Copies of this chain bind each other. A is one copy, B any other.
């Protein structure tokens, strides 16, 4: 194991470095604050590696081309922020339906609409789950540090490839624009997952058949020799459109179950001082760092406070949160919105535990002081 490179790096930059480490070689997007550095760095770095960057005419096209790149065999990514994330929703649903692996980074800024374009927020967390029409699976991760932006971008690609679905990195502007000391892991320190391809010249290859013991259909690339069909309509195991009720039901359930059945593989979280906590703060992304500091200060002041930090936002870590509330009767959800992630927390908590929310939407980061004040109120 070589020595790790140590640098000051921006969150957005770490996404690009992580993506490249994961094997990303295709980026299509459209600039938008505060995600633009991601595009700019891809424009600079990808051709050096023989990869491709393209600035499309808008976010819709950016998402479409990203899917096209993935179908042509390259690990593909796009990045955006709220308004662009809204525009991408239709094609995100396409990727979910047609099971095309790809990574979408949403650097969250204050909305709704144009809002405060340079201010941080966590206002797109529910949109990540429900933004496109119809039932569809969602995997979304959320980094709290620059190093984690690096690691989670790699993980986004791994999950996308493993579950053949678009995966979101929901990064708030706090982390996206934060420059921080990072030790870049060596390539032998992380695992890279590549999509399973069909065996060469498999005459029985059906583009959308799940093979025994596997989670998703094996995926050939266009040009690999299999003339398969991809559609956003309901399709059968060959990929051809079908309207039969049983085909529809089977497909829809497959889409949802491949993620929900493997929730334990996908979900990660971090806990800090939760063991004996009488109040647990739930916070993610940049806010989790204010919360961590708040926990330390509360502990110093003698209050048994802990932090639960979901790293996987979706699927929702419901089992763990449920168990947590068996012991801990008070939960404070702190997030930079007017109450989003608190909703599923409410749903899974034990009946006798209490959930408080602290939301902030004025364009500034939540501070440790504010959290401490809320903790004191609730404690």
Contact = CB atoms under 8 A, between A and B. Distances in A.
Interface string A327-355: 00000000001111001101100011000
Contacts of A108: 133
A113 interface: yes
A128 to B, nearest CB: 9
A117 B93 CA distance: 14
Given A86-B133, A361-B249, A96 B115 contact: no
Interface string A227-252: 00001111000000001011011001
Interface residues of A, number: 64
Contacts of A232: 113-115
Number of copies: 2
B248 A133 contact: no
Given A119-B243, A248-B116, A248-B361, A111 B134 contact: yes
Secondary structure at the A interface, as helix, strand, loop or mixed, is mixed
Given A86-B132, A131-B127, A96 B116 contact: no
Interface of A: 60, 82-83, 85-87, 89-90, 93-94, 96-98, 108, 110-117, 119, 121, 123-124, 126-127, 129-136, 231-234, 243, 245-246, 248-249, 252-253, 255-256, 337-340, 343-344, 346-347, 351-352, 360-364
Across chains A and B, which 5 residue pairs bring their CB atoms closest together, nearest first?
A111-B134, A351-B351, A82-B133, A112-B134, A113-B232
